[in-house]
Structure 1
Amino acid sequence: MKTSEMIEANNQLRVQLNTKNKNFYENILVYIRIEGLTRDENKMEVQLLNILQDIIDAQNDGLTAEEYFGKNPKELADEILLAMPSNIWEGVKLALYIVAAYIGSSFLPSLMTAGTPLDVGALVLCGIYSIISVIVVLKYVASTIYTANRKMKNKYAKIFVLWFTISLLFAPLFIIKTFVHTPIQISLDGWIGIIVIIITLIIGLVFFFRQKDKTFGWPVVIFLAGAGIMGIVTRIPAYGNSLLHTKNGRYLVAGITTILFILFCLFNIIAARKLAKQTK
């Protein structure tokens, strides 16, 4: 069975679990998937599916997951991970995916206005830093699965700590983009820039529509599509000069950028609420 098929089967079978068993299993699932990012994904999903089936069988026999597996699920998860040696290629793929995701999400906003060269060096530096940040955040999330409830009872305190941690980690991205300037810069003005933006939009849309779950993809697509269209318009001489070199034009660009950002935030909130309803 393919990895994607196992993940889909896992999602369907979890519906059979009662609330207590579902919480027990989903903690194991999240912990193993995060800590097992450098393990063989197929083997990992096989193990997760086996555990799920065992819990369903135990539930049908009147046993809880805790009674069947014991009161220390973290030990079970760690034993499974130890049985699967790390795969260097999986780590490389993860790193490349993070860099590509960051550059992909930052490329079009960087081309939103003509006349500013694209700093490829700074973009790559941000991508490399993103690898470190994402891994740190994921490790933090994994570490809190079985310890957060003991150390911190107040849910608002947990949210604040997580927000503060993520803010500290991602603040350097803003600093790098604002203050770091490398000699690796390219100019993408005029028709060359327009062609690059159109190709990027097409690739992004193809990738987006190939995804099964588009819940959190729509806000990103709308924002990047808006940034791409703005980048095209500012590169057309008939419009670009008035938008970039007049006071009213700059206000209009700033206003459109602000609206795009607000829409991005609103659609993310809607997507989060939709996901929460589906989870319930």
Structure 2
Amino acid sequence: MSNLIDQNTQLQKQLNVANKQYYDDLLVYVRLHSMNKNEQQTEEMLLSILQDILEAQQNGMSAQDYFGKEPQPIADDLIKQLPTDWRQMLRLTLLAFFSYLTVILIMDYLEAFFHQNTLQQLDVGKYLFCSLIAGGSVFFILWLTGRTYGEKAKWQHLLMIAVIFALNIVLFISIHTPFILNVSRWQVFLVAVFLIGINYFLSRDAG
């Protein structure tokens, strides 16, 4: 997978300014709309499109002339041809969940460390619930970004993202559950290391 992305990056350097802008728009749009698609095939498709644009460029034809004025219609058609990959979707969902869980656990660990507390209270219910909400928020923001990509009125979308972010913070601060564990700092440290390992495993190059 990384080889495809590296090859794509190198070939993009051969694009002229207009074609580079066109392909950048198409690239971002496709990646935002193909989270539930096979990643390997998505990158192969993007590389193939890039090679077509370069070939057209060598023949004196722009990307707009070759694919059409707007990249979105051709991108939509190509995305529909990609097979749905539920394993990819599950991997991204788990990655969002465990990433947030790892961050808040490390933050609590550091707070207890600097306060020199030997025991730390972990609100397990709070962590799990907030991680689920945060994971859902990430996917909603990505979906929203994909739906509104290229539109001029972006401040409304930025405001909505800011509101979602603020709500997640308020939720984490205010919510409490009875599912609390008293653990030592070393136990929290080991759990954090374990979660970091899970995140690394989930984020590894699938190719």
Range into which the TM-score falls when normalised by the shorter chain: 0.7 to 0.9
1:194 aligns with one of 168, 186, 189: 186
> Is 2:64 aligned against 1:66?
yes
Percent identical pairs in the alignment equals: 29
Quick one: which of 132, 135, 148 aligns to 1:131? Answer: 135
Q: Distance in 2 between matches of 1:131 and 1:198?
A: 23
Q: CA deviation at 1:85?
A: 3.1
What does 1:1-280 correspond to in 2, within 5 Å?
3-111=1-109, 112-113=111-112, 114=117, 116-146=120-150, 148-149=151-152, 152=153, 158=154, 160-189=155-184, 193-197=185-189, 200=192, 204=196, 207=200
Letter in 1 for 2:94: L
- Cα RMSD, aligned residues only: 2.4
1:128-163 residue CA offsets vs partner (Å, 9 max, x unmatched): 1122211121122212223x13xx3xxxxx3x4343
> 2: CA distance between counterparts of 1:203 and 1:121?
17
Deviation at 1:183, TM superposition (A): 2.1
* Alignment gaps of 5+ in structure 2: none
Larger radius of gyration: 1
Q: Residue 128 and residue 75 in structure 1: after superposition, are their counterparts in 2 closer, same or farther (change >3 A)?
A: same
Shift in Å, 1:12? 1.1
CA distance in 2, matches of 1:71, 1:79: 15
- Paired with 1:13 and 1:176, the residues of 2 have a C-alpha distance of 45
Q: Provide TM-score, normalisation by structure 1.
A: 0.64
1:121 to partner: Cα distance: 1.2
Structure 1, residues 97-123: CA drift from partner, whole Å, max 9, x if none?
Answer: 100111111111022223551111111
Tell me the distance in 2 between the aligned counterparts of 1:181 and 1:203: 22
Quick one: structure 1 residues 202 and 101, their matched pair in 2 at CA, closer, same or farther if it must change by over 3 Å? closer
SS of equivalent to 2:13: helix
Aligned residues: 196
Letter in 2 for 1:37: M
> What is the rounded CA distance, in whole Å, between the counterparts of 2:167 and 2:180 in structure 1?
20
Counterparts of 2:48 and 2:16 in 1: how far apart (Å)? Answer: 17
Cα shift readout 1:141-200 (whole Å, capped 9, x = no counterpart): 212223x13xx3xxxxx3x434321121122222222221112221223xxx23532673
Offset at 1:201? 5.2
**1:98–1:199 CA distance, 2 compared to 1 (3 A):** closer
SS of alignment partner, residue 183 of structure 2: coil
Structure number with higher relative contact order (C-alpha < 8 Å, ≥ 6 residues apart): 2
Question: Equivalents in 2 of 1:116, 1:178: separation in Å?
Answer: 17
User: Does the 8 A contact of 2:35 with 2:88 survive in 1?
Assistant: yes
Compute the TM-score of the two structures, normalised by the length of structure 2. Answer: 0.84
